[in-house]
Chains A and B, each alone.
Chain A
């Protein structure tokens, strides 16, 4: 007997104005996986995330979350947005943002409780951001901003997490914090799907990789998927970039783009 999959994608096709972005993608993600999604720009990474979140209606195929329609299932998904998509001038403090992670647990008219504040503080503590709780979010460094949104995701207490480029533009300390928290979450049995842009670090951060370029190129354990051949297939014409990166990788294992 098999357990219900946290995320199941079957023959998914999504197109923007008749131009296909995702084509016939099948995906079965087991509970407790830590999956990195890799692919060149415009490969449909964010589209895949948005379709799972039920923000884009697929043209064909389906997504199921714990065996249910995404409309119902998405409530079990925690979400970390891409940093560029956030309005950093918005008049909210770090605490306000983390508390938003608790809204899903509240009734329509009920107020934020002491327990919610307690939980939010704990989550901020986990990412070492508690001293900044009263800061407006624009007055933080890029790494700190990303950690606030990670704390918000923790406060959601979801069982599945989707993260859109959590490592984009962050400092080394933040990168380490995020990785260790992701590993902890995995240990607690949570399922994580992370859109990632940095080839070199993908190998050490994720247990499983999804190589995406409109179609699913490969999906499986990192050791089997992270091969020159498959990466080349994914990144296609950007061979030069790839071999460049390979040389860089050989030189320094911690490459920052």
Chain B
């Protein structure tokens, strides 16, 4: 018996696309994957260049109790209440980190680790406590299940059937994020690189920062069903870090995150078909493999530097 299933090109690459029904089902999965990768890749790039990769991690974990509590209050998994819960928990999380940092001798990295693990643990416990009368699955929130995206009900908007609800929401978030980033690219760039200069221009530096955090919460909530709050961090951090092996300019890095998103999605999808595992996890593995290749072989990678 082999540890890995048999690698058969036909079953892995062709069978998923062999009938119309499968194409329709898997097409929706792929579309969801692309939207998740692109949205988080763009936002994540700004998080990474701000040296906040860990903060992104902290926030995405820290919002969990907020999601559960707002689910308990509103009783729905609609994006509105979820977003309120996520934002309040995210805010509480960063306030706690800031308070620990300024009022105790604990340093920022340690206080971050303490706060986000405790928030996360509270969230998990809350879910477990409520499982009797709640239709909330720990696994789904933590790891997501992108393969079940096509099961999401159709979204009716002003009497029109817009198609799959999850995809519609993620698509709207993606368009919103791209719009905001392209309209206020200069503001995001300068407040990331030199907040002091931005401040001297009279720009609302803190507000822009909060806006970015809001977008982060928004995209985490929207991606939650697909990749879960744990793996969303991979989708945030990998694209920018991998792209930075190929370019030293932020606009180009942002553009490279798009083809990377396509590679992650298709790579992860077919990898999952081979190994029969979670698609979200396989996408993160695809991202890791591409990162390692880029790290070794790219123009700025290790191998060429050693020469």
Contact = CB atoms under 8 A, between A and B. Distances in A.
B201 A87 contact: no
Interface residues of B, number: 24
A52 B81 CA distance: 43
Contacts of A86: 194
Given A91-B248, A91-B253, A92-B250, A109 B183 contact: yes
B199 A91 contact: no
Given A91-B244, A103-B201, A109-B183, A79 B249 contact: no
A100 B193 contact: yes
Given A91-B250, A96-B249, A106-B186, A75 B194 contact: no
Contacts of B198: 103
B249 A104 contact: no
Given A74-B202, A91-B244, A106-B186, A79 B250 contact: no
B248 A81 contact: no
A54 B253 contact: no
B289 interface: no
Chain B binding site: helix, strand, loop or mixed by DSSP? helix
A55 B195 CA distance: 10
A79 B202 CA distance: 13
B87 to A, nearest CB: 24
B196 A79 contact: yes
B199 A53 contact: yes
B200 interface: yes
Nearest to A50: B196
A187 B197 CA distance: 25
A141 B206 CA distance: 32
Interface in A81-113: 81, 85-87, 90-93, 96-97, 100, 103-104, 106, 108-109, 112
B244 A100 contact: no
A146 to B, nearest CB: 14
B107 interface: no
Interface residues of A, number: 27
Given A75-B201, A87-B193, A100-B193, A93 B249 contact: yes
Interface in B193-221: 193-194, 196-202
Given A91-B244, A93-B248, A100 B199 contact: no
A148 B199 CA distance: 20
B186 A103 contact: yes
A54 B199 contact: yes
A63 interface: no
Interface string B229-256: 0000000000000001001111001000
A103 B196 CA distance: 13
A21 to B, nearest CB: 17
B49 interface: yes
5 contacts: A53-B199, A91-B247, A91-B249, A112-B186, A136-B249
Interface of B: 49, 51, 183-184, 186-187, 189-190, 192-194, 196-202, 244, 247-250, 253
Given A91-B244, A109-B183, 13 more contacts: A71-B202, A75-B201, A81-B196, A87-B51, A90-B192, A91-B247, A91-B253, A92-B193, A92-B250, A93-B249, A97-B193, A103-B190, A112-B186
